[in-house]
Every structure is written in C-alpha cells, then in structure tokens.
C-alpha cells in the first residue's frame, strides 16, 4: 500500500481509504513523481470495490504547498527551467490529478490540515467536501506569483462561489483561514486541528455506511447536471432511480427502516 518513502501514502480504514501527500519536509510541495503516484492512487481507489470514501490529506503541517519554489529557484522541478520537459510532460502525456478527481465516482473528502496553496488549493477544490483545521490556510495567491489557478481553480471557483466572489478571491489573492473559508462556502466545516482527523473520520464513516450505489449515482448526477438542461437531467435521474429500485441495497434500506434497525448495505 506504499512504503514510508513514497510521496503518496495509502491507508485503508474499513471502507475508507486515506491518501496522504508525503513530503512533509517540503510542506508536501508537488513533484512529478508525487503527481504520478497520486493519480495512480486515485484511480486505484475509484476502482476498488471495497472503497466507499476517499480522504485526501497531507503528512506534517501542510496539506500541499503547490509548486516546490526552492526547486523552481534552482531551475529544477515542475516550476523550474525543466518546465518544458518535466512539467509539460505531466500536462500533455499524463492524466492530470484534478481531472481524475473530477471523473471519480467515489466521494472524496479533503482533510485540510495546513496550508493549501497553488496546485494544493486546486486539489482541495477538486474534492467533493473540504474539512479544515481552524489554523489551516487556503492560499489563492496565483496572481501574486505571476500564474493562474492552472489545475481546476478557474473552473471550480465561479461554480462554488459565483463570479464576483471568485474574482475577489483569485484577483486579490488574500489567504483564507478555516472560519473565512467556511463563511465563503469554500469549506464545509473548520474544527480545531487536533480534532480534524476524528471529524473527517466521522464524516467518512457515515457516508461509507450509506448505500454505495446511491452515493455513486448522486455524485454522477451532480456532475452530469452541470452540463445538462433540467428536462434532460430529469430523464437521466428517472433512469437512475429505476435501476436503484432493482438493487439489493434498496430492498435492504426499506426493510431496515421497517424493522427499525441500522441498514447493512453491500453495494449490490
């Protein structure tokens, strides 16, 4: 499941798979290897029948600091002089992690334990839910670095916040703490740092305890609804619910409700 030297650690906790960015000495700043490992880990999680929820977080005091600026200053890495080779290869011949996140049917929770900047912020925005430490910071300072939200931010921010707020956050570039992120609608909840893992686990386990076929369809229909008109979407929803009515999970849900007991869903 990935050794301690991997740049992405993988840990299964029941039906919940934790993916941990693992360059704590560099605040989990991204490298080509990290992006490749993360992309593979996300795909594997989405394909694993026993994984019902994915949690993405960082080891140490940061979620992900984005580009490794020390590498870039030395002319190395994705943000350095090697961009035309190392970085461009990622964007042209590898599938982008944030695209994989958008394609996934398994729900993904970002456990933002510390700074999320640049690509790290885009990764967080690509997750379905975001829980933050009260001391964590979202850092949308792209314009201050002479770049743009290159891996999803320009798509997510207007949809999450509306046009004016998206412009405010991206063009001013001011950092947002947990409470501010919740107030803006960028995070679902902010909790004390020492309580973050337990809170994320509670959310993930509750989702994992619900009917996985229904969770998958909810996420798929949300995604499709972004590009469908209402009438087309309604037909799509009807076909999905008719299929769910045939599932063992639907029968278990009805029976457990009638028997006043917790359901035991199998994903069938």
Pairing assessment for the beta strands 137-139 and 176-177 based on DSSP bridges? antiparallel
Number of structural domains found in the chain = 2
- The values of phi and psi at residue 191, to 5°, are -135, 160
Residue 75 reports pLDDT greater than 70: no
The confidence score (pLDDT) of residue 173 equals: 83
Do 175 and 142 form a contact (C-beta atoms < 8 A)? no
Does residue 119 fall inside a structural domain? yes
In a domain, residue 265? The reply is no
In this prediction, residues 213-235 reach a mean pLDDT of 92
Using one digit for the tens of pLDDT, what is the confidence trace for 195-210?
999 999 999 999 999 9
Mean pLDDT check: name the lowest of 2-11, 67-76, 251-260. Answer: 67-76
- Residue 231, domain extent: 211-258
In a shared domain, residues 22 and 152 = yes
pLDDT, average across residues 14-33: 94
pTM: 0.87
96 or 257, greater pLDDT: 257
Over residues 89-136, the pLDDT tens digits come to 444 445 688 889 999 999 999 999 999 998 999 999 999 999 999 999
Per-residue confidence (pLDDT) for residue 71, from 0 to 100: 58
Where residue 69 falls among pLDDT bands split at 50, 70, 90?
low
Residues 144 and 240 in one domain: no
Distance between CA 9 and CA 34 in Å, rounded?
Answer: 10
**Any residues with CB less than 8 A from the CB of 25 and at least 6 apart, and which?**
60
Q: What average pLDDT does the structure give for the chain? A: 87
Q: Are residues 168 and 51 in the same domain?
A: yes
> At which of 191, 208, 225 does a domain end?
208
Within this chain, do residues 176 and 88 fall inside the same structural domain, yes or no?
yes
Asked if 111 and 200 sit in the same domain, the reply is: yes
Q: Are residues 237 and 129 in the same domain?
A: no
Could you tell me whether strands 53-58 and 16-21 are parallel, antiparallel, or unpaired per DSSP bridges? parallel
Report yes or no on 263 lying in a domain.
Answer: no
pLDDT confidence of residue 23: 95
Q: What is the CA 171 to chain-centroid distance, rounded?
A: 23
Q: How many CA atoms lie within 13 A of 256 on its CB side?
A: 13
Within a domain: residue 266?
Answer: no
Handedness of CA 216, 219, 224, 225 (dihedral sign): positive
Q: Of 64, 62, 61, nearest to 35 (Cα)?
A: 64
Out of 208, 223, 245, pick the residue that ends a domain: 208
Distance CA 187, CA 53 (A): 18
């Amino acid at each position: 499941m990935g050794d301690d030297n991997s740049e992405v650690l993988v840990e299964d906790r029941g039906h919940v798979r934790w993916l941990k960015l693992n360059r704590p000495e560099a605040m989990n700043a991204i490298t080509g290897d990290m992006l490749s490992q993360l992309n593979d880990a996300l795909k594997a999680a989405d394909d694993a029948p026993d994984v019902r929820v994915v949690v993405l977080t960082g080891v140490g005091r940061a979620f992900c600091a984005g580009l490794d600026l020390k590498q870039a200053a030395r002319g190395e890495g994705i943000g350095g002089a090697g961009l035309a080779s190392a970085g461009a290869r990622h964007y042209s011949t590898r599938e982008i992690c944030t695209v994989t996140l958008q394609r996934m049917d398994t729900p993904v929770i970002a456990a933002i334990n510390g700074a999320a900047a640049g690509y790290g912020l885009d990764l967080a925005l690509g997750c379905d839910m975001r829980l933050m430490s009260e001391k964590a910071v979202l850092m949308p300072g792209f314009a201050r670095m002479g770049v743009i939200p290159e891996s999803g931010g320009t798509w997510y921010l207007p949809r999450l916040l509306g046009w004016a707020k998206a412009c405010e956050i991206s063009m001013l570039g001011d950092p947002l703490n947990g409470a501010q992120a919740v107030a803006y609608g960028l995070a679902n909840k902010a909790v004390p740092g020492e309580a973050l893992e337990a809170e994320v686990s509670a959310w993930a386990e509750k989702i994992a305890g619900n009917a996985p076929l229904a969770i998958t369809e909810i996420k798929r229909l949300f995604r499709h609804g972004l590009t469908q008109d209402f009438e087309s979407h309604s037909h799509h929803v009807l076909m999905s619910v008719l299929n769910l009515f045939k599932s063992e999970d639907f029968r278990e849900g009805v029976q457990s409700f009638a028997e006043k007991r917790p359901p035991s869903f199998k994903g069938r």
